[in-house]
Amino acid sequence: MQTDDASVRLAAVQQRIARAESLAGRRAGATALIAISKTHDSDSIRPLISAGQRIFGENRVQEAAEKWPRLREETPGIALHLVGQLQSNKADDAVALFDAIHSVDRASLVTALARAMNKSGKQPACFVQVNIGDEPQKGGCDVAALPELLAQARTAELPLVGLMCVPPLGVEAAPYFALLAKLARDNGLDGLSMGMSDDFETAVTLGASHVRVGSALFGARA
Ligand SMILES: *Cc1c(COP(=O)(O)O)cnc(C)c1O
């Protein structure tokens, strides 16, 4: 991808976010755009950095550790978010590498992250991932188990900022986004990580604080 293409794609996504914010009566710039760069190599990521994008997301610790230390050295001020499932034995690596973790979804991981943060002194912002469609194969905490997991995260003093979801594929996402927003409100959380390339405008109108956009910025993944 050339820098020109990256600029055009980035501007288009930013404009669509701005229009959705305006439609919903939200403040301009209320939504943070996370560029999901998983599977894309550093040469494909650099044009987007050159175009001005500074928040990126990856779904695997190992892949992020291979690409991002160098890219961050080249350009200061990049924030890196983890949006994929995290094994407890990678908690130390994840805390060292990421500025935010969107996939906190079980008690054992809360414990592992709290320990890693205490050890390192680093405090990446944490989102609890909710299995919003109650899908058996999907990551995320069950809706019914959310209050207990949030209580545990608060007791462990994790820097909790909000909730995250990936709604079921192939059906209208809006009801799931609305439910996530309600769960966040009910539990006193402001952050809402929701919306991907196919549905980020809907997510913005329903209050997303963070949208996670991959293919609309990078093109299709191989
Ligand atoms: C890959 C991924 C995205 C981005 O998906 P696109 O459809 O390419 O925008 C967002 N969130 C998560 C958790 C992902 O794994």
Q: Which of 117-121, 137-141, 217-221 is modeled with the greatest confidence?
A: 117-121
Helix, strand, coil % over all residues of the chain, rounded to 5: 45, 20, 35
Measured CA to CA, the distance from residue 177 to residue 200 in angstroms comes to 10
- Please provide the average confidence, as pLDDT, over all residues in the chain: 97
pLDDT at residue 54, as a whole number: 98
CA distances (Å), origin 91, targets 81, 111, 152, 155, 165: 14, 10, 17, 18, 20
Place of tokens 């009801």: 175
- DSSP-derived letter for residue 84 is S
Is 214's C-beta closer than 6 angstroms to any atom of ligand 1? yes
For 144-156, what is the mean pLDDT? 98
pLDDT at residue 211 above 60? yes
Size (the chain), residues: 222
pLDDT at residue 3 above 80? no
Q: For residue 145, list its beta bridge partners.
A: none
Q: Among the residues of the chain, which ranges form H helices?
A: 3-23, 42-50, 61-74, 91-97, 107-120, 146-155, 174-186, 200-205, 215-218
Is 166's C-beta closer than 6 angstroms to any atom of ligand 1? yes
Is 219's C-beta closer than 6 angstroms to any atom of ligand 1? no
- If you take atom 11 of ligand 1, which residue's CA is the nearest one? 212
Write out the H or E segment, with its range, that includes residue 212: strand 210-213
- Nearest-atom number in ligand 1 for the CA of 212 is 10
Is 38's C-beta closer than 6 angstroms to any atom of ligand 1? yes
Distance (angstroms) between ligand 1 centre and the Cα of 196 equals: 6
Write out the H or E segment, with its range, that includes residue 162: strand 160-164
Measured CA to CA, the distance from residue 194 to residue 198 in angstroms comes to 11
pLDDT at residue 220, as a whole number: 83
pLDDT at residue 1 above 60? no
Is 197's C-beta closer than 6 angstroms to any atom of ligand 1? yes
Statement: the pTM of the whole predicted model exceeds 0.95: yes
The amino acid occupying position 160 is L
Is 129's C-beta closer than 6 angstroms to any atom of ligand 1? no
For 173-206, how does the pLDDT look when each residue is reduced to its tens digit (9 = 90+)? 999 999 999 999 999 999 999 999 999 999 999 9
Is 132's C-beta closer than 6 angstroms to any atom of ligand 1? no
Q: What domains does the chain contain, in order, with CATH numbers?
A: 3-218 (3.20.20.10)
- If you take atom 13 of ligand 1, which residue's CA is the nearest one? 83
pLDDT at residue 4, as a whole number: 80
For 85-118, how does the pLDDT look when each residue is reduced to its tens digit (9 = 90+)? 999 999 999 999 999 999 999 999 999 999 999 9
Q: For residue 36, list its beta bridge partners.
A: 57
pLDDT at residue 2 above 70? no
